[in-house]
Amino acid sequence: MNREEKVKCLLEQQALAPHLAESFREFLHPNKQHLFNDISENIISNYILPFSIAPNFLVNDKIYLVPMVIEESSVVAAASKAASFWARNGGFRTKVINTLKNGQIHFTWMGDCAALNSFKDEILELINNVTERITKKMRKRGGGIMDVEFKSIVNMANTHQALIKFKTADSMGANFINTCLETIAPHLMDFINQHQQLKSAEAAKSIMCILSNYTPECLVECTASCDIEQLQPYAGDYSVQEFAERYRTAVEIAINDPYRAVTHNKGIFNGIDAVVLATGNDFRAIEAGAQAYAARSGSYSSLTSLNINNNQFTYTLKVPLALGTVGGLTNTHPMAKAAMQILQQPSAEQLMQLVAAAGLANNFGAVASLVTSGIQKGHMKLHLSNVLNHLEASEAEKSSTLKHFKDTAVSYSMVEQFLKELRK
Ligand code: MEV
């Protein structure tokens, strides 16, 4: 079915009200719809989210404007405020620790992985030979297949994996890795089955080949550091020392309590996801990998850590971010292309650093609010326009309501009440 037929079908099945069919039509792009039609399947319209800019990100001494795509009010404001604050205090220092990505070939075999690992060099040579043509361009760009290791799956008899390490230069590399794995698997099984010292009673059989979105070695670190005295703009009614102590306690709670850690990290992902989405990267992959990293000790914990020493407040985020700046939506979605331009066409490593800075900025703003004024005061002020739209306020009503709540606390029911009075 073409788009019109799909909409007609939905209308006939009464799955869609006629006015929704009309708004689906309204949200089609007037002249670039063909670009969006090719992105996914069964498309009947586009889903619009705000594209915002958080300015003043000073990262390794260079200023960036950071594009953010997010539906939640106050996130961009918090990122912008924190970025300006840190720009006045030395900015964010970032470094990429490593960029290794992983692929897995799972297989059944009645042998011991130690034996396979003892043939590692030979197997790596085989892997490189059979993927020669696929990896040629990637090797020119500094990537390729870096290593292989065999591991047995815990709690499963005769079930193993070849864990293959890749570098994928500026691409996220999912297709590259998967193509390599699917090429390698039959050769690897043949190698095992034909080797005198490896063959087992039952032949080795490949079960599946896929990249792993757990990339603990595709890691970036971002730090912001200042004298405690400089924290005054965030300290609210507290002294800077009290503020720093309260902040330290909040981070320690997030390190030790998984319930808090999830929310603390969610504040980090407010920044991370918004930039990942703006640049057309796979936010599910980023989330899955980084959340698993947060639980690498066996207990889910904070992705940030704080060090207060010699009157110096040093806040650090360490997070795996397997991002790409070539291929995928990054180069086809017009808004992702715009985001990349605004970020000055970063390499994948540079993008990892900018995304980490956005994550740290948002988390810093959130925790600073939580330990001082509380989150609702600022959040509800910025959320007020959403509440007013929800209550279908007219422009005149919006203007009176904004005036009324300028210096008072905002809640949904208070706004509702105020409008009710206004409409009497
Ligand atoms: C809301 O989007 C994010 C926060 O809950 C993060 C946090 O609690 O640290 C405010």
CA of 264 to the centre of ligand 1 (A): 6
Active site residue 282: yes
Q: Is 71 exposed, middle or buried, given 0-12, 13-18 or 19+ CB atoms closer than 10 A? A: exposed
Atom of ligand 1 nearest to the CA of 363: 9
CB 80 within 8 A of CB 55: yes
- In this structure, the number of other CB atoms found within 10 A of the CB of residue 215 comes to 24
The helix/strand/coil state of 97 is strand
Which architecture characterizes domain 51-98+216-373 according to CATH? Alpha-Beta Complex (3.90)
CB 29 within 8 A of CB 46: yes
The CB of 266 under 6 Å from ligand 1? The reply is yes
CB 388 within 8 A of CB 104: no
Atom of ligand 1 nearest to the CA of 72: 2
CATH of 101-212, one of 3.30.300.180, 3.30.70.420, 3.40.50.360, 2.60.40.10: 3.30.70.420
CA of 273 to the centre of ligand 1 (A): 14
- In this structure, the number of other CB atoms found within 10 A of the CB of residue 81 comes to 21
Q: What's the pLDDT at 373?
A: 86
Atom of ligand 1 nearest to the CA of 369: 10
The CB of 263 under 6 Å from ligand 1? The reply is yes
**Alpha carbon distance 97, 164 (integer Å):** 19
Q: Is 203 exposed, middle or buried, given 0-12, 13-18 or 19+ CB atoms closer than 10 A? A: middle
pLDDT in tens, the chain (424 residues): 999 999 999 999 999 999 999 999 999 999 999 999 989 999 999 999 999 999 999 999 999 999 999 999 999 999 999 999 999 999 999 999 999 999 999 999 999 999 999 999 999 999 999 999 999 999 999 999 999 999 999 999 999 999 999 999 999 999 999 999 999 999 999 999 999 999 999 999 999 999 999 999 999 999 999 999 999 999 999 999 999 999 999 999 999 999 999 999 999 999 999 999 999 999 999 999 999 999 999 999 999 999 999 999 999 999 999 999 998 899 889 999 999 999 999 999 999 999 999 999 999 999 999 999 887 777 777 788 888 989 999 999 999 998 998 888 888 899 999 999 999 8
Atom 1 (ligand 1): residue with closest C-alpha?
A: 267
Q: What's the pLDDT at 383?
A: 80
The CB of 267 under 6 Å from ligand 1? The reply is yes
Atom 2 (ligand 1): residue with closest C-alpha?
A: 267
CA of 395 to the centre of ligand 1 (A): 30
The CB of 324 under 6 Å from ligand 1? The reply is no
Q: What's the pLDDT at 379?
A: 73
Domain range summary for the chain, segments of one domain joined by +: 3-37, 51-98+216-373, 101-212, 379-423
**Alpha carbon distance 368, 374 (integer Å):** 9
- Residues with Cβ < 8 Å from 17, sequence gap 6 or more? none
Q: What's the pLDDT at 328?
A: 86
Active site residue 379: yes
Atom of ligand 1 nearest to the CA of 74: 2
The CB of 375 under 6 Å from ligand 1? The reply is yes
Distances (CA, A) of 234 to 27, 342, 364, 365, 381: 41, 29, 10, 8, 18
Phi, psi of 36 (to 5 degrees): -80, -30
Structure tokens at 74: 């106050």
Active site residue 266: yes
CA angle 316, 256, 273 (to 5 degrees): 50
Ligand 1 pocket check: which of 247, 262, 268, 270 to mutate, most ligand atoms within 8 Å of Cβ?
Answer: 270
